[in-house]
Structure 1
Amino acid sequence: MNEPSLMGYPGMNPNIISGINTSTNTTTNTTNNNANNNNGPGTPVSALHLNQLMAGLGPPGLSHENNNNNNANHLANNSRQLLEQLAQNNVPTSTTPVPNNNNANTNNMINANTVGNDSNHNTPMLNNNVALQPMNINAGNPLFHPHLEDTALLNNTVWKMQLQLASVSMHSMGQPNVYARQNAMKKYLANQSQNPQQPQMTEASLSLVDKTQKLLMEFAGADTSKENPKNPNNNNANNNNTTSNSNDTSMMTASTPTPMATGNNSALSTPTTPQVELNNNQREQMSPNVLLQHKKLSQFSIDDDDELNPTSDKKNKDGQLWHALDLSNLQLINLDSNIFKYKFLTRLYLNGNGLTQLPKEIKNLKNLRVLDLSHNRLTSLPSELGSCFQLKYLYFFDNMISTLPWELGSLFNLQFLGCEGNPLEKELLKIFTEKSVTGLIFYLRDNRPEVPLLHDREFIEINTDGEPQAKFETLKEANSVLDSELSKKSFTILSYNTLCQHYATPKMYRYTQSWALSWDYRREKLKQQILSYDCDVLSLQEVEAQTYEEYWVPILEKHGYSGNFHAKTRAKTMQGKDSKKVDGCCIFFKKDKFKLISKDALDFSGAWMKHKKFQRTEDYLNRAMNKDNVALYLKLQHIHSGEIVWVVTTHLHWDPKFNDVKTFQVGVLLDHMESLLKEDNPKRDTKKSPLLICGDFNSYPDSAVYELFSTGSVKNHMEDNTRDFGYMSQKQFNHHLALNSCYSCIGELPFTNFTPSFTDVIDYIWFSTHSLRVRGLLGEVDEDYANKFVGFPNDKFPSDHIPLIARVEFMRGNSGSRKV
């Protein structure tokens, strides 16, 4: 079946949208007799025209060239009529559905004086000469409009903005595809403007989102003519819509931290976000106004804004020609779940319908930036909406929503929340009006009831053929039934990026509860987690030098471990306490299981400059030389078997723009490993040397790094082949070690790094296949549990990475060593 296209296009899947009020069918399905329209019968002229103009929309698969030509034809044929309609705020009679006045529960009513009857169909129709005048049956109800009861709210900056934008939203009632219409005018004005970068917009062409951006900038005391070039015509703004910079001082306060909520929704506590977190966020924004919530988003722009430039390669990297879906004011009472298969959507407009619930499938739209649910009959928002962490503008004016799900605390990008016209709980309203949307989101985040982890990560036993054999609820349970012979010739190894405390800032992890992000809490949780696995070898990354010395060494020595640490290269350029704040990699091993034979450390850039085949290439000097990543090598002897094993840990450069540097770093790491093995035993085949390489490689399973480890060279990654690292590139980074990922026998985990913007596998344990074999693996995080969060760390997982654990067995007689 072909992918369903956008509403109004031929080939549209009829199951996409269901529940259209039958009283409006005669108006919304009027046959088009326009000779210039080639879209076939049954397609509404205005709706189709406007939908195509909206952000360059077209059905999936339509070529850019054809889409642009169609848009140009429609624009030429209908632009003048469209301008007149929008300028006068009129709606074409033949295509306008009228809200149903017979439903007593709806908040959205049409003035009876503006409606006549169609004698042919007994369908309410708009009078051609009278503009639509929406009303709200709860207009005088203080539960829905709290400023009627508490007039002090009329002087509250946050609530002023609510009222202004709620009024803007109400005036769009009754206009089908209102956002598409407004965008059509913006596109027309942009095409007519002598300066396409600064089109002269009119008030009629500005959408609710545009006006929200404009008000945010005005309230922040910013010059929108400079900050927002798309809307420079600020003189059109009503002077009453601006406020002085003397905002309520209550908006700038935050309460003292309190214990985590117990989950009793009826007893809402005060916000628990520490004063320092709100203050830090305000300082970062270079503005005293709480409405400037994110420095990164201070211009209140929408990422991937495709409205005026739909063919931009940068903004359409997913291959889609459109990213917005406008279903506003169409009398929908149900939504089919197929809508939520459009995972590329950044804007979804569902305002002005009869929806009573928002399907939980909304969680699939993780790219959403704008969601308008205003003027429906919603009584609640689904908890799954918290998964749409990229939301910046969420409107649900004039519904019947009284509370908010705790999961909305994950909407850390939210800039505006339109909630006026709802009977919102007074406690939530108080937090919102005093601390704006930032304080409200922090409150929901920090007071979210505990989510129980019902199932721990299973430990999967692997047989000698490399196939899964049995599953145990925990590693401890698997150890309790371990065969004595296997126990003598095997050991367990853990690899874990522990998230250095200097990187775990509130700015970087805004979705994590503040108390769960604190270093005191995370450090204790890390200790409990690592000790509970009781592994024989621990390979840790992102460990601060001071934390290693003052925390990990004392604790792990008490549990029978000995350790070694190597800091990143920058520590050498620092003195005293500053050098102790640099992170690095460390390896601990149980002293009753292993004996340390030798150790070595490697600075990738510095070591390569001393290599006998080093060449000063431009790519090395400009891209690799200034990266200070390191590796640590330990040569250990297994006491029970007498076998020798090399254990290596590393943490490669993080930036995806430098994938070639990561490949270079692995090439240096393996080249040095081969040198150490040849020095240790020149006559021995390096492939037969027991070897484990652990770490955070910041590389996908389809990366050049993975290919280099698993195949011995890099051949299929052209991006890396175009870079010149001298001898390393000439030999295609190849090595002579037989390596494979420990998890290859069951498949890599769904993720090893879990954050809102990045969830994938980047951590590995590599083993030498000629001398070792995997006999057990720690499995994935419970999927049901993970789906309730947008990322780690949280109260159960203290890092944004998860630990990897493998049980490794020596294959008899390969090391040539003797028992000690």
Structure 2
Amino acid sequence: MERSPTTSGRSKRESPSLVEQTHRRKRRRIVTVESEIHVHENRYEISSSSSRRWGSSSHCNDERQRRRSKTEFVDSYRKWVFSPHDCSRYKDRVVIVSYNILGVENALKHPYLYHQVRPQFLNWDWRKKLIRKELNHYKPDILCFQEVDHFSDLADLLQKDGFKGVYKVRTGKANDGCAVFWKEELFTLLHQESIEFQKFSLSDNVAQLCVLKMVNSHSDSNRCANSQIPQSTPSRSILVVNIHVLYNPKRGDIKLGQVRLLLERAHAISQEWGNIPVVIAGDLNSMPQSPIYQFLASSSLDILLHDRRKISGQIEHERGSRPLTAQLEDAHSDQVPISKLLAYRWSEEELRLAAGCDGVTQLQHHLKLSSAYTGIPGSYHTRDNCGEPLATSYHSKFMGTVDYIWHSQGLLPVGVVETLPVNILRETRGLPSEKWGSDHLALVCELAFVDDSRVT
């Protein structure tokens, strides 16, 4: 019995041809590949004020990207994401990078951390070229590096891109240190000093504090246009702080003491230069939401509520033990007496190192700080529940976040560069890699001076 077109479900004229079917299958494959590659998409439109620096992807670029392999797409995950708020009225801005670039000697001394990394990718001549190429992509104004042990080499390389820098080497046997670079055409160095923590019995780490002034800021133009503003008022200045905190997870007393001392000095310098805004960048060797992180964010910390061995959140808890955060949650719900939490034993010497003087157990600082990344909403593929990156460092023994950029109230985050999704990081089997020149990922943010009518 012959079926009519209405009962057969589709007429012969409506049936797709073999060519059309093939085309559709190819299109489906393209869409599938795109969905695998683009694990995370920016959820916010790039504002017109931000596009002047980075622009947006064109249809032609998308077509070229579709033809690349998945491995070639690794760098496309590191994209700018921007504030959902209108920041166009804030004209004076600065792009800051914090980057632990992996000391050459450190890589040689700890080969077990990089046993899955090809030797070529650990070679400094290879890595420094990747680092420079990556930095040029971000178009930074200020660079904060940690684990620098080839400063002259790095300075010569960055000089080609218009940067000038200062360096502070660690005390003791280690040869690496911290370095701050700035674009000479954009900033002038007004003041610099460093902290040698060894002088305070706080290990051999160091920190840098640099006051930089914008050469040509919008506040300059406003001052010239308004004769009522004193001509002696200085232009936009910013205090840039760079630190590499002690690694040893068990010495929370020293780690906390380093952070406490740094915050004290940063606040003092900010006041000396007219309450200028502060940026604190570096490898803090502390996990998000750890007691050290909370101290930075909340400006206070009760030392006796925390185990010094877990104050940075780095140590994995022993099998069967409960995390300190869970204990604190129980304390708030009256399930565990506070007196039990106060049982952590701190010696008088440990308390003195952490607090800076005898008899003090409650720490406070006067800088009202915010983490740049938590100020810009991002993708769940790269951020934790609090907005911090899921991972800023990855080698055979560790994957997690220890690097940060903090800023004071005088600055507002306009945008940040997303870190790599964890699944993409795992595909590298460890950093450095063919694409990335360190075992850390660079943190990048654009910060705006929040009041363009007020000259600091």
Cα offset, 1:672, TM superposition: 1.3
Does the 8 Å contact 1:598/1:635 carry over to 2? yes
Counterpart secondary structure, 1:515: helix
Does the 8 Å contact 1:457/1:782 carry over to 2? no
Relative distance call for 1:459 and 1:813 in structure 2 (3 A) is closer
Q: Partner residue of 1:751?
A: 391
Verify: 1:452 aligned to 2:39, yes or no.
no
Does the 8 Å contact 1:464/1:773 carry over to 2? no
Cα offset, 1:777, TM superposition: 0.5
Q: Partner residue of 1:799?
A: 438
Relative distance call for 1:690 and 1:463 in structure 2 (3 A) is farther
- Residues of 1 paired with 2:86 and 2:285: CA distance? 30
Counterpart secondary structure, 1:597: strand
- Residues of 2 paired with 1:556 and 1:757: CA distance? 31
AA of the residue aligned to 1:520 = D
Larger Rg: 1
- Residues of 2 paired with 1:795 and 1:711: CA distance? 39
Q: Partner residue of 2:154?
A: 552
Does the 8 Å contact 2:167/2:177 carry over to 1? yes
Q: Partner residue of 1:515?
A: 120
AA of the residue aligned to 2:414 = R
Cα offset, 1:632, TM superposition: 0.4
Verify: 1:673 aligned to 2:300, yes or no.
no
Does the 8 Å contact 1:569/1:628 carry over to 2? yes
Q: Partner residue of 1:779?
A: 418
Does the 8 Å contact 2:130/2:437 carry over to 1? yes
Q: Partner residue of 1:728?
A: 356
Does the 8 Å contact 2:117/2:429 carry over to 1? no
Does the 8 Å contact 2:99/2:440 carry over to 1? yes
AA of the residue aligned to 1:528 = K
Cα offset, 1:586, TM superposition: 0.6
- Residues of 2 paired with 1:465 and 1:604: CA distance? 41
Cα offset, 1:461, TM superposition: 0.9
The one of 403, 407, 427 equivalent to 1:767 is 407
Counterpart secondary structure, 2:253: helix
Does the 8 Å contact 1:660/1:719 carry over to 2? no
Counterpart secondary structure, 2:294: helix
- TM-score (structure 1 length as normaliser): 0.37
AA of the residue aligned to 2:117 = T
Extract unaligned runs of 5+ from structure 1. Answer: 1-448, 467-482, 572-580, 609-624
AA of the residue aligned to 1:736 = H
The one of 369, 372, 390 equivalent to 1:739 is 369
Aligned pairs for 1:382-401 within 5 A: none
Q: Partner residue of 1:503?
A: 106
* Bigger fraction of residues in strand: 2
Does the 8 Å contact 2:287/2:293 carry over to 1? yes
Q: Partner residue of 1:566?
A: 168
- Residues of 2 paired with 1:626 and 1:807: CA distance? 32
Verify: 1:595 aligned to 2:200, yes or no.
no
Counterpart secondary structure, 1:559: coil
Give me the identity figure in percent: 28
Cα offset, 1:760, TM superposition: 0.9
Count of equivalent residues: 315
Verify: 1:712 aligned to 2:305, yes or no.
no
Cα offset, 1:750, TM superposition: 1.1
Q: Partner residue of 1:585?
A: 178
Cα offset, 1:782, TM superposition: 4.1
- Residues of 1 paired with 2:77 and 2:432: CA distance? 16
Relative contact order: is structure 1 or structure 2 higher (C-alpha 8 Å, sep ≥ 6)? 2
AA of the residue aligned to 2:102 = L
Deviations 1:442-471 (A, max 9, x none): xxxxxxx994334331110114479xxxxx
Q: Partner residue of 1:475?
A: none
- Residues of 1 paired with 2:453 and 2:208: CA distance? 24
Aligned pairs for 1:167-206 within 5 A: none
Cα offset, 1:492, TM superposition: 0.5
Counterpart secondary structure, 2:351: coil
Relative distance call for 1:563 and 1:815 in structure 2 (3 A) is farther
- Residues of 1 paired with 2:80 and 2:162: CA distance? 24
Cα offset, 1:789, TM superposition: 3.2
The one of 210, 231, 243 equivalent to 1:634 is 210
Counterpart secondary structure, 2:441: coil
- Residues of 2 paired with 1:738 and 1:781: CA distance? 29
- Residues of 1 paired with 2:293 and 2:421: CA distance? 26
Counterpart secondary structure, 2:78: coil
- Residues of 1 paired with 2:135 and 2:299: CA distance? 32
Aligned pairs for 1:107-126 within 5 A: none
Q: Partner residue of 2:327?
A: none
Does the 8 Å contact 2:113/2:395 carry over to 1? no
Does the 8 Å contact 2:95/2:444 carry over to 1? yes
Cα offset, 1:650, TM superposition: 0.5
Counterpart secondary structure, 1:733: strand
Counterpart secondary structure, 1:695: strand
AA of the residue aligned to 2:162 = G
Relative distance call for 1:666 and 1:626 in structure 2 (3 A) is closer
AA of the residue aligned to 1:518 = N
Counterpart secondary structure, 1:452: helix
Cα offset, 1:783, TM superposition: 4.4
Q: Partner residue of 2:59?
A: none
Does the 8 Å contact 1:453/1:785 carry over to 2? no
Relative distance call for 1:593 and 1:656 in structure 2 (3 A) is same
Counterpart secondary structure, 1:671: helix
Deviations 1:175-200 (A, max 9, x none): xxxxxxxxxxxxxxxxxxxxxxxxxx
Cα offset, 1:816, TM superposition: 3.7
Cα offset, 1:757, TM superposition: 1.9
Extract unaligned runs of 5+ from structure 2. Answer: 1-68, 219-234, 309-343, 378-386
Does the 8 Å contact 1:633/1:647 carry over to 2? yes
Cα offset, 1:814, TM superposition: 8.2
The one of 133, 139, 149 equivalent to 1:534 is 139
Cα offset, 1:528, TM superposition: 1.7
- Residues of 2 paired with 1:791 and 1:677: CA distance? 39
Deviations 1:351-405 (A, max 9, x none): xxxxxxxxxxxxxxxxxxxxxxxxxxxxxxxxxxxxxxxxxxxxxxxxxxxxxxx
Q: Partner residue of 1:208?
A: none
- Residues of 2 paired with 1:707 and 1:456: CA distance? 29
- Residues of 2 paired with 1:708 and 1:784: CA distance? 31
- Residues of 2 paired with 1:676 and 1:782: CA distance? 38
Cα offset, 1:807, TM superposition: 0.4
AA of the residue aligned to 2:236 = E
